[in-house]
Every structure is written in structure tokens, then in C-alpha cells.
Amino acid sequence: MIFMAMDSLRIGSGYDIHKFLEIMLFENTAKKLYLGGVLIEGHIGVAAHSDGDVVLHSLTDALLGALSLPDIGVLYPDNLKSTKEISSIEIIKYAYGLVKEKGYRLVNADITIITQTPKISAYKEQMINSVSSVLNVDMSRINIKGKTKEGLDSVGKQKAIEAFSVCLISSE
């Protein structure tokens, strides 16, 4: 058995990236873009087994990582038919449930979305509202911000969107 130090504070970090769909494919499948559980109307979607929400996926891994729990890909393998098109809200609720089962709660999470589009500032409040209500925590505990990649590499060329999350959890 792995010894788990019973610290009252634990920190976690998570990362995720998803590829934007090609325009042709987008028209064929009409897959939508979800960020923090918010539907970004009219924006091209991403390739994913689930709904491909990079915000919720990176935050899920941060929450799990804070307690050294198995990561999102272990809990929800992308080759399972039963979880195809699963909502990332369901995934993060399950992960946060595991954290709460161990006696911890979220102190705060800071999330950075890196993408050329959409402009995150336009959706920031909506996303913070959405994530905090999914986790049932106060809005002041969640921060979300956007950053471009200044046109550099795959994210800068609008081929993908990525997110980094850091969270602090407490047992007190």
C-alpha cells in the first residue's frame, strides 16, 4: 500500500490539449466547443472521445493529482464505447467526489486557457459561474483566464486549444 501523508493542504496541477476539427469534418459532425461546461456558440469544435472540454479535463487532473489519484485517462479510457460523447461535467463531478470522499474540499483553482480563439475574456464570467456551480463551490474559488500563443506552434496556428490548471485542496 502506498503511504499517503495526511497533509491538510495539497496542491495539484493538470494539463490538456485537444485538436480543433477541420472545417469539412466540423460541417459533417457539427461537434461543438465546450469550455468549462459552457457551449461556445458558433465556434468550431474539437476532436475528442468525450465533449473535449480542455478546461474541465485539466481541472479534473489537477484535483485527482492533488491526492495522487489515477488520472482522467485511467478513470475514463478513451477506447470505452460506454463513455463515448460523455459530458466532462460528469467526469469532473466524479473526480471531485473522490476528493471529497477522502475528506478534502477545493480551496481555489487557477486555470489558463491557451488559444487564439475564442476570446476567453468574453466568456470568463460564464465559465467561472459554470465551473463553480458544477463543483458546488463559491465563484471566488475559481479563476479562468485566456492567453494566445502569439501565432506560434500548433496552438498559435489555431490547430488546437490547451489548458493548464492548478488547484489547492484542504481537509480543514
Which residues of this protein are in contact with ligand CDP, per CB under 6 A? 115, 119-121, 145-148
> Strand (E) positions, 115-171?
142-147, 160-170
Residue 165 Cα distances to 15, 38, 68, 168, angstroms: 6, 17, 15, 10
By beta-carbon proximity to ligand CDP, the closer residue of 50 and 115 is 115
Alpha-carbon gap, residue 154 to 57, rounded angstroms: 19
Q: Which does 10 bind (CB under 5 to 8 A by kind): Zn ion, ligand CDP, none?
A: none
Task: Give the shortest CB-145-to-ligand CDP separation in angstroms.
Answer: 6
CA atoms within a 13 Å half-sphere pointing along the CA-CB vector of 63: 28
Q: Which does 57 bind (CB under 5 to 8 A by kind): ligand CDP, Zn ion, none?
A: Zn ion
By beta-carbon proximity to ligand CDP, the closer residue of 66 and 109 is 109
By beta-carbon proximity to ligand CDP, the closer residue of 76 and 123 is 123
